[in-house]
Amino acid sequence: MNKLAEETFGQSSHFWYDGLPLYKEGTYAKELQLSEPLKTILLQVKDDFHRKEATEYFWYIYGNEQTQDALHEKVRPNIMIRYQSGEFFVRMNIADADFALSLERVLDFETELREQLKKAIF
């Protein structure tokens, strides 16, 4: 992962990254693979979290590949994380094919990342 930017707005710290590998070759199309990215994200978020003193944190993490949706538009999956008041919120934005092929994995990933972040930070 490559850090694109880091900014602070009041008590809010924001981190942008790109280059996170999220895909593997699948039977019908590229498929999301999320176990390795989880480890990478945990390490980076933990490092960023402990280097700053803010009340809110935001991470915007972009995948290293794009896919194409049904409208023939390019879609780059991304993961957004917010920390506020002792809670993490995780959202992964994906293309329509990823929704069809990997929705359960994405939902499990969001839950697992949120739980692992709580353990890693506290």
**CB distance 90 to 110 below 8 Å:** yes
Q: How confident is the model at residue 110 (pLDDT cuts 50, 70, 90)?
A: very high
What would the two tokens of residue 56 be? 């809110």
List of residues 6+ apart from 9 with CB closer than 8 A: none
Please tell me the pTM assigned to this model: 0.93
Q: Give 7-30 pLDDT, tens digit per residue.
A: 999 999 999 999 999 999 888 778
Percent of the chain with pLDDT over 70: 100
**CB distance 29 to 68 below 8 Å:** no
List of residues 6+ apart from 115 with CB closer than 8 A: none
Q: Give 58-109 pLDDT, tens digit per residue.
A: 999 999 999 888 999 999 999 999 999 999 999 999 999 899 989 999 999 9
Residue 104 CA to residue 122 CA, distance in Å, equals 27
What is the span of the domain harbouring residue 33? Answer: 2-121
The total number of structural domains that make up the chain: 1
